[in-house]
Amino acid sequence: IIQTSRWHTVSTWHWDVNEECCGICRMPFDGCCVDCKAPGDDCPPVWGTCNHAFHMHCILKWLSSNSEQQQCPMCRAEWQFKTDNK
């Protein structure tokens, strides 16, 4: 008797974000921003103290283009990065 065992592993991942898409570029968080080529740790979502989430590159670009007013693009509250995402 010949015994053969085969393993077929499949895994998936996703960011734990309440919204589906970045409010700036409108691309899904499980994808990446328009400046990146592949999703993952190089293009993570970041949260503000107002609890809005954006791709890191999108909010950094937004803040640099609006240097006089550092505001959330969604609610216009003063933008501050949240230190924990819960």
Token pair for 84: 């924990």
Q: Is the pLDDT of residue 86 over 60?
A: no
Residue-by-residue DSSP string for 29-63 = TTS--TT-SS-STTS-EEEBTT--EEEHHHHHHHH
**Residue-range domains of the chain with CATH:** 19-86 (3.30.40.10)
Q: What digits encode the pLDDT tens for the residues 15-72?
A: 788 888 999 999 998 888 888 888 777 889 999 999 999 999 999 999 999 777 899 9
Pick the more confident residue, 75 or 1: 75
Cross-strand partners of 81: 48
- Which pLDDT value is given to residue 85? 52
Pairing of strands 53-55, 45-47: antiparallel
